[in-house]
Structure 1
């Protein structure tokens, strides 16, 4: 999978593929999406599907090299450009996953995210992607969300953790876990291009979540399920805490 600039499609008549809303003029915007190994693919592909459908928006997948990036579940995603070749972003998207825990301690990724975010008009942190924004020193004094198993750690970077599914603080948009990235993408499309454009995309992708079970949050899940998920991820949580502590210490020295 790779990103696709769709600026040319903005002037084409009629829909540009199955489920695409009718094309109309929109302000050209460059969207850069961070790709790191062991990321959660849905953190990226969900928002990508929404953002790439906006007429005039060009979406680029940015990685350290041009080699395919392997997600935490084994999907290989082909980047469009390296960090060095990436154009300045109007919108920067940072997905989450275990790979973010490593990127938090990578000076090259921290410098890239900081540089791109400082010039971008809007910055997204999807799931634990907000931890990378925090490690880059971008969330001090701001409210920010993240996956329910990790958002408390945002406080180590000077942020106020938010339990909301979507959190907007200035130009920073952050979401809860994984699937909430789709909601966040629709929100920013509405904010930038108008609710009609966002609603067309929502209908085109038939986004109408009706899960078979109640319980997509800890508050709505049976306690036994919550405890089972926590037990399954105990080791990752311990590793993440250690890396966040180190990243916060480094940030404090900058």
Structure 2
């Protein structure tokens, strides 16, 4: 891609802030990218972690986007998955955007907008079943590319997702410079970043802790399925 590149991140109450900011940090590196934080209004929103994020433009005033990215969220994401204004906006922008993308459970929002059916995609490991139920071929990888759809897995994968996307739009050297600038050379203190490496003794209590959110997503997924069948 040449010239100025417009990138839009959807933000909404209860969004996971690192789902937005990990990829934002990477994609803001080249001078020819302009990043927009897209909200229904310009009213600041509170992230799932309690940070305040201020949209830079509204859905109604959003410019033409080359890339649209949908981050995941906490319980507030349920409202987004059934918000017809937001879903219509995503469908409209997908007609002209070069890449339609997501991080974490943002892929469930894309699927709710019928933008991932027939594509391979990924999401946070705890929500793969719900994504598959919506007609998406789920691939348990950190970043999945299928034509013009690019999806990242859970939270921190936003960095890998951002570097992958930056390689596509600006070239490998630019992506490598962004990685070096960020000193992205992960050496985690624990080998517990996936269910397989964490083991049951860590996975099971975490799933119990997250059960209300998982159940809420499952309920909304089944509602979307019933509406589609109807």
Query: In the alignment, is the contact (CA less than 8 A) between 1:101 and 1:244 conserved in 2?
Result: no
Q: Tell me the SS of whatever aligns to 1:140.
A: coil
1:81 aligned onto 2:81: no
1:203 aligned onto 2:183: no
Q: What is residue 111 of structure 1 aligned with on the other side?
A: 88
Question: Which residue among 34, 49, 56 is the counterpart of 2:10?
Answer: 34
Question: Which residue among 96, 99, 104 is the counterpart of 2:72?
Answer: 96
| Larger of the two Rg values belongs to structure | 1
Query: In the alignment, is the contact (CA less than 8 A) between 2:9 and 2:20 conserved in 1?
Result: yes
Whole-Å separation in 2 of the counterparts to 1:26 and 1:204: 22
Query: In the alignment, is the contact (CA less than 8 A) between 1:137 and 1:251 conserved in 2?
Result: no
Q: TM-score, normalised by structure 1?
A: 0.87
Q: What is residue 6 of structure 1 aligned with on the other side?
A: none
1:222 aligned onto 2:199: yes
1:69 aligned onto 2:80: no
1:60/1:217 CA distance change after superposition, 3 Å: same
- Identify unmatched segments of 5+ residues in structure 1: 1-24
Compare 82-91 and 241-250 and name the one that shifted more: 241-250
Q: What is residue 144 of structure 1 aligned with on the other side?
A: 121
Query: In the alignment, is the contact (CA less than 8 A) between 2:19 and 2:158 conserved in 1?
Result: yes
1:250/1:50 CA distance change after superposition, 3 Å: same
Query: In the alignment, is the contact (CA less than 8 A) between 1:130 and 1:174 conserved in 2?
Result: yes
How far 1:230 sits from its partner (Å)? 0.4
Whole-Å separation in 2 of the counterparts to 1:156 and 1:114: 20
How far 1:248 sits from its partner (Å)? 2.6
Q: Tell me the SS of whatever aligns to 2:126.
A: coil
- Identify unmatched segments of 5+ residues in structure 2: none
How far 1:26 sits from its partner (Å)? 5.0
* Cα deviations by residue, 1:204-225 (Å, 9 ceiling, x for unpaired): 0111111110010001102110
Cα RMSD for the two superposed structures: 1.3
Q: Tell me the SS of whatever aligns to 2:184.
A: coil
Q: What is residue 3 of structure 1 aligned with on the other side?
A: none
Question: Which residue among 24, 29, 33 is the counterpart of 1:57?
Answer: 33
Query: In the alignment, is the contact (CA less than 8 A) between 1:135 and 1:248 conserved in 2?
Result: no
